[in-house]
Amino acid sequence: MAGIKRMRSVGLAAFAGLAFVCCGTMTLSQGIPGAAGTYGYVLRTFYYPVQADSQSCPRQSVGALEMFEQSLSDAERAEYGGPANREKLIKLMAQRLGLKNMKITGTRRAESVDAAELDRLRAEAGIAPGKGALVSLGSRLAYDTCTNPEDFPQFDRGNQPFLGAVSIGANLDGRVSRGNFTSPDGTRGIDNNLLRATGCNLGVKDYGDSKLAEKSLRSQTAPTVIELTGVESFVNDDDVTLRVYAAAQSVDLAANGDALPFASIDVDPDPRYSAQVKAKIRNGVLTTEPFAFTLREKESVVETYNGFIDTRFKIRFNPDGSMAGEVSGYQTLESLDYTYRHFSQAAADFSATSCPAMISAIHGMADGGRDPRTGRFSAISSAYRFSAVPVFLIHPTPVGNKEARK
C-alpha cells in the first residue's frame, strides 16, 4: 500500500514538474508574450466521430458517379459499369455533363487570383463566366458537380440521414428536441445536425472512424495552434484565456510520425484565424464561453477553412502535457459550402460523394445563426473531437521591437 501511495505522489510530482518546465522556460524566451501560466498546443487531430453501423446507416448515401451510372442504358452500363471501367465512366460523365478540369501553369491560391485573371482562365478552359473554381490547391480550374452543385440538380438525391442516437457534443439550444442525440455520458438534447446530414456518406464515415482519425494528423501543413494564458492551476482556475491562431509553419513530425511535442512553432498573426475567449478550469476540465473562430485547413488537395459561431471548447489535460477534447457549436454554411466547392470531382468520385446532395442536406438541416429578419439559418450544429500536443508558440516580433533590438 505504501508503495502505491508513493507511486501516486511521484506521478503527480512528475506532472507538476512538467508544467513547471513549460512555464519556467516560456518565461525565459525572448519575444514570447505572457508570463508564467502560458501554454501552447498544436492540433494533431480534429474530426467529427461517426459510429456508423447498420442501425445508424441502414443505407449508404450514393455518389454522383454512381447516380450517373444508374442513369445509363443497359447497353451503356454493360460497357461503362463495374470497377474495371471506372476511368471510362468518369470520362463519359465529364463529356456528357460538360465537366471541365484544366491544369493551370503555376500553382495559385484561389484568393490571390483576381476576377479578370479568373475570367481569362475560365475562357481558356471553356468554362462559362462566373462558373468553376480553382481547386487542388490552386493547381486546377474545374467546373463540376462540386464547384457548381446548383447546375446538377439530378444529383441532389440519394443522401441518407444518419439515424444513430449517440453523439458527442453539447445541448446548444437548451432544448431536448426530436432529432437530438444523447451523449455517451447520457446527456440528452445534443445538437449535431452535421452528423445527421452527412454521417452516412462513405468519405465522412471513414474519416470519422476514431481508430483512423486518431492516427491521422489533420491539416499538417497548415495547422492550428491554441494558447492558454493565465493558467494558475490545471485543476481549478476561473480566469483563463484561450486563443486560437493559425500556425505559420507545418507541424514538426517526430520520429514515430506523430506531431512532435515541445517544438517551437511560429504563430501566423492573420486576424482571420485569430480569436480569443475566456475559459474556466473546473475539476481538471477546461470549458470556454461560446465564441466565433475560424480554423484554416490544408489537406492534400483542399485548402479551405472551418468557420464556427457560438462554439465552445471542452478540454482535458493529460499527464504528458498533451490535451484532448471537444469543440461543440455551429459550423457556418459558408465554410462548408466553400469546402465542398473545392472538394473536386475526383475526390467526390473517390469517396462516393454527391456534392449537390450533401450540400443540400447540410443546408436543409441548418439550425444555427438564424437571421431574425429572414428566419434563415447560416450555420449547422456540429461536434468535433480533437487532440493537441504541447508546443512553444513563437509570436512574431512587432516591427517596432525589431528596430529597437537593432
Q: Applying CB under 8 A, which residues contact other proteins?
A: 7, 10-11, 13-14, 17, 20-22, 24-26, 28-32, 252-256, 258, 260-264, 392-394, 397
Torsion, Cα of 19, 20, 22, 24 (10° steps)? 160
Cell numbers that stand for 317 in this block? 489535460
Instruction: For residue 363, give the H/E element and its range.
Output: helix 355-364
Q: How many helices, marked H, and strands, marked E, lie in the chain? A: 12, 13
Q: Which is nearer to other proteins, 17 or 82 (CB)?
A: 17
- 269's CB contacts (< 8 A; 6+ apart) are 245, 395, 396
Q: Which is nearer to other proteins, 197 or 391 (CB)?
A: 391
Smallest gap, in angstroms, from Cβ of residue 303 to other proteins? 24
- How far from 273 is each of 222, 301, 304, 329, 382, CA to CA, in Å? 11, 20, 12, 17, 19
* Rounded Cα gap, residues 22 and 228, in angstroms: 12
Smallest gap, in angstroms, from Cβ of residue 5 to other proteins? 12
Q: Which is nearer to other proteins, 252 or 337 (CB)?
A: 252
Instruction: For residue 382, give the H/E element and its range.
Output: strand 379-394
Smallest gap, in angstroms, from Cβ of residue 165 to other proteins? 38
Q: Which is nearer to other proteins, 75 or 255 (CB)?
A: 255
Smallest gap, in angstroms, from Cβ of residue 269 to other proteins? 14
* Rounded Cα gap, residues 143 and 150, in angstroms: 12
Q: Which is nearer to other proteins, 170 or 394 (CB)?
A: 394
* Rounded Cα gap, residues 131 and 307, in angstroms: 24
Smallest gap, in angstroms, from Cβ of residue 253 to other proteins? 7
- Cβ–Cβ under 8 Å, residues 335 and 294: yes
Task: Return the SS3 of 181.
Answer: strand
Smallest gap, in angstroms, from Cβ of residue 223 to other proteins? 15
Q: Which is nearer to other proteins, 34 or 158 (CB)?
A: 34
Q: Which is nearer to other proteins, 258 or 299 (CB)?
A: 258
Smallest gap, in angstroms, from Cβ of residue 254 to other proteins? 4
